[in-house]
Amino acid sequence: MAGIEKLLHRVSPSVRALSAYDSSRPRRRIKLDGNESPFSLSGELRSEIARVAENLPLNRYPDPNCEWLKKAVSERTGTDSSGIVFGNGSDELIQILIAAFCGESETVLVPAPTFSMYALTAQVLGKKVVKENLTPDFDINPEAMLAAMNAHNPDIVFLASPNSPTGNLLSPGKVEAVIAGAPGIVVVDEAYFSFCGKTHVALMKKYENLAVMRTFSKIGFAALRLGALFMNPELAAQAEKVRLPYNINSFTQAAARVFFENPGVFEENINIIKSEREKMFQTLGSIDAIKVFPSAANFFLIQFNGAKTAGEVHRALIEKDILTRNFPDTDMADCLRVTIGLPEENREFEESLRAIISGL
């Protein structure tokens, strides 16, 4: 039998050079780190899901094509059902896109900062990653992006709008300039669409190289792991070749019906989050020694400029049983990302943050 060192030597160099994405977090009473919805499902909706689950034929594979779900999503978004691809969360869709469409230059172009899974997944699959910095207000620099596309001929460009972890919408005209100038596919990740209502779906009729991603994770179904990709049907057919069979389990498909049959419940929760977003922006903006960036999503990016560092504040909040997202050993080490929680959680966070910064 080969020794462990010999076996480890067989790990691809691109994987050996990486650090695993760390989604583990300490458990705390107030969880403001994951950009999930703070609202649990009501007892009525839980009972409805339980009723549906009770009748699932667990001895059978799930619907491989998610036919009911595809029809429901198509009707709600006004997109062609033959151009919809489902993934086990957006993470799998990112993997599918890179595996299917990164075959000419084997290069992915991403702005910086943005969602880390675009670059990480590309590197895992042995692709080259090119990063182009956003402007100081976190918008696209179209001239720089076009120059990068001319220099590197990327197969895929990933853009997130609203962007994560910054929270801002990218300028629509600048996004379109990138789509128009891209040699390959441009993926616009609209994970936070529900909190801003701004979409690029209509541009798909004008640009065949545009794909749009959405997720159920931010509106109350993070545990289901369900993402949707909208793209040209001919391109979707290629993506389907690398999608694993039965990737969306029967329970997820059945539970997703609850959303489509009870949209008002989720829309009410989204409106509460949007209202809290306005309150928090005003309150946090009055605290000295921090900068709060405007957000069109369900979270805020906060930069620390005073005596307290982001790391110190992060640890102090944990001691107060409040968990936020920090970015150690990155260009954003002076920032925290804070998910908008329940109203009472937000008030406690604001008070705790003010006390920590004041040294109370």
pLDDT of 316-354, one tens digit each? 999 999 999 999 988 899 999 999 999 999 999 999 999
Quickly count: other Cβ atoms within 10 Å of residue 277's Cβ: 21
My answer on whether 172 and 243 are in the same domain is yes
End-to-end CA distance of the chain: 61
pLDDT of 200-257, one tens digit each? 999 999 999 999 999 999 998 899 999 999 999 999 999 999 999 999 999 999 999 8
The answer to the question of residue 17 being in a domain is no
Q: Which CATH number belongs to the domain containing residue 298 in this structure?
A: 3.90.1150.10
Lowest mean pLDDT among 16-20, 195-199, 289-293: 16-20
pLDDT of 159-178, one tens digit each? 999 999 999 999 999 999 99
The answer to the question of residue 29 being in a domain is yes
The answer to the question of residue 5 being in a domain is no
Instruction: Give one DSSP letter per residue of 269-290, joined into a string.
Output: HHHHHHHHHHHHHHHHHTSTTE
The answer to the question of residue 178 being in a domain is yes
The answer to the question of residue 19 being in a domain is no
> Over pLDDT 70: what percentage of the chain?
98
My answer on whether 235 and 270 are in the same domain is no
Residue 25: pLDDT band (50, 70, 90) is low
Residue 23: pLDDT band (50, 70, 90) is low
The answer to the question of residue 47 being in a domain is no
My answer on whether 239 and 304 are in the same domain is no
Of 189, 219, 248, the one marking the end of a domain is 248
As given in the structure block, the two tokens for residue 174 are 């600048």
Domain carrying residue 310: 25-41+264-358
What is residue 18's predicted lDDT score, i.e. its pLDDT? 79
My answer on whether 285 and 234 are in the same domain is no
- Could you give the CA distance from residue 296 to residue 126 in angstroms, rounded to a whole number? 33
Residue 2: pLDDT band (50, 70, 90) is low
My answer on whether 184 and 269 are in the same domain is no
My answer on whether 240 and 324 are in the same domain is no
pLDDT of 119-163, one tens digit each? 999 999 999 999 999 999 999 999 999 999 999 999 999 999 999
Q: Which CATH number belongs to the domain containing residue 244 in this structure?
A: 3.40.640.10
Residue 8: pLDDT band (50, 70, 90) is confident
Quickly count: other Cβ atoms within 10 Å of residue 28's Cβ: 16
As given in the structure block, the two tokens for residue 167 are 């929270």
Query: Pick the residue with more confidence: 7 or 186?
Result: 186
Stretch (H or E) spanning 213: strand 210-215
My answer on whether 118 and 148 are in the same domain is yes
My answer on whether 222 and 173 are in the same domain is yes
Listed in order, strand segments (DSSP E) in the chain are: 30-31, 84-87, 107-112, 128-133, 156-160, 185-189, 210-215, 227-230, 290-292, 299-304, 322-323, 325-326, 335-339
Give 137's contacts (C-beta < 8 A, 6+ positions apart).
Answer: 168
The answer to the question of residue 12 being in a domain is no
Residue 26 has pLDDT above 80, yes or no: no
What is residue 7's predicted lDDT score, i.e. its pLDDT? 84
